Structure 1
Amino acid sequence: MRAYYFDNLPGDQHLPHDCVPSQPVPADTLAALNVRSWKIPVNGHEDAINAIAKEQGYKSRDTVNVSREGLGDAYEQRMQGFYHEHMHEDEEVRYVLKGSGFFDIREAPTDAWIRLAVEPGDLLVVPAGIYHRFTLDQADRINMLRLFQDEPKWIPHHRSAETDANVHRIGYLRSIGVDAQHV
């Protein structure tokens, strides 16, 4: 997984949006934001994924094909929803089987976007309460294994004053040492 600061320039969300020169984000910055990742080769990944799932308490899983074929008539609407800034009350755990895409996360307290370019073999854990979004890259397809602590669910809470006060958002900010009143 490659992590770098998003350039915030207008344009196609499927483009890399890397600053010139690039501004890589160090692993310790991601760790300070409670973003976790592993690189696990796709061939033979089952044992490693099962071990992580057991260790982290992920009890269920499914796969999702995010592409025009996989989403059908809902493609445009779903892509807009994925790219709308939001948070979840649960961790978002994704393992890339095929394809590639971008997860953008908000750095706190700076509010800068960090772009995470994911490809096959990347396992990413986006913590509950962090603002983020997702988009495909120009290849326009990704197949991911999704891991869940309980039953599969994906409930986005779009960024607003209400989500700023959400108990999971406040808990996330506290977990990274940020005072929610100053964000």
Structure 2
Amino acid sequence: MVQAWYMDESTADPRKPHRAQPDRPVSLEQLRTLGVLYWKLDADKYENDPELEKIRKMRNYSWMDIITICKDTLPNYEEKIKMFFEEHLHLDEEIRYILEGSGYFDVRDKEDKWIRISMEKGDMITLPAGIYHRFTLDEKEQWEVEHLDQGSGSSGQSHQGADCWPARAGPRGEDGGGCCPVFLTLSTGKQQAQVRPSVRNPF
């Protein structure tokens, strides 16, 4: 079962848990109030899982690819990990299903505080459009994830400062303001996360 908690203020190695002290756990119900949805599935049968197929049909997830990140095989590993950890948002919801390994998705709550979501094999989450988030592996430094999407797998992305986008309507997006969104594209297909400069952050 997925675990989540409020983070401390440390900027040290992001691959460590960074739990606030005293500990402030976050429930699935609290995550749902932010638009974050969660399922627990059997990752060993992801290719022929009727439960996953049911979710895909219900939410119109018609596209998928698989991204593998491993310190031993990914060129420029440290550079890529730093890129994944940059805070950003997407115009569409983001769906990730963990097939192997483990890692963290961090999302901001309505007060701009960071919540860390610890994910491992069999966990699947949907992050809503417009939520600021970032990703990092944990100290095991290995991750294989299925990326699902309602379209072609490409969506608009911007880093912090995109509060004028329609997807940011709400507490942080009401007053708009100037921003310069950057649209990038994620290449599709089975890959080892060889992210080129022209490819958007897949997390």
TM-score range, shorter chain: 0.7 to 0.9
Cα root mean square deviation, aligned? 1.8
Amino acid in the other structure paired with 1:180: G
Q: CA deviation at 1:70?
A: 5.0
Q: Is the 8 A contact 2:62 2:149 kept in 1?
A: yes
Amino acid in the other structure paired with 1:105: V
Alpha-carbon separation, structure 1, partners of 2:8 and 2:18: 5
Amino acid in the other structure paired with 1:62: D
Q: CA deviation at 1:68?
A: 2.6
Match of 2:173 in 1: 180
Tell me whether 1:143 sits opposite 2:183 in the alignment.
Answer: no
5+ residue gaps, structure 1, are none
**Superposition TM-score, scaled by structure 2 size:** 0.79
Tell me whether 1:50 sits opposite 2:53 in the alignment.
Answer: yes
One of 85, 107, 110 as aligned partner of 2:109: 107
Alpha-carbon separation, structure 2, partners of 1:165 and 1:70: 39
**Superposition TM-score, scaled by structure 1 size:** 0.88
Alpha-carbon separation, structure 1, partners of 2:152 and 2:4: 30
- Partner SS, residue 111 of structure 1: coil
Determine which structure has greater relative contact order: mean sequence separation of CA pairs < 8 Å that are 6+ residues apart, divided by chain length. Answer: 1
Amino acid in the other structure paired with 2:89: M
Q: Within 5 Å, give how 1:25-40 maps onto structure 2.
A: 25-40=26-41
| Deviates further, 62-71 or 132-141 | 62-71
| Deviates further, 2-11 or 138-147 | 2-11
Amino acid in the other structure paired with 1:165: C
- Partner SS, residue 24 of structure 1: coil
Match of 2:124 in 1: 123
Match of 2:95 in 1: 93
Q: CA deviation at 1:51?
A: 1.2
Q: 1:179 to 1:76 in 2, by over 3 A?
A: closer
Alpha-carbon separation, structure 2, partners of 1:37 and 1:62: 19
| Greater than 3 Å deviation, 4+ residue runs | 178-183
Match of 2:65 in 1: 62
Q: CA deviation at 1:69?
A: 4.3
Q: How many pairs are equivalent?
A: 173
5+ residue gaps, structure 2, are 177-203
Alpha-carbon separation, structure 2, partners of 1:180 and 1:94: 25
Identical counterparts, % of pairs = 35
Q: Higher helix share goes to which structure?
A: 1
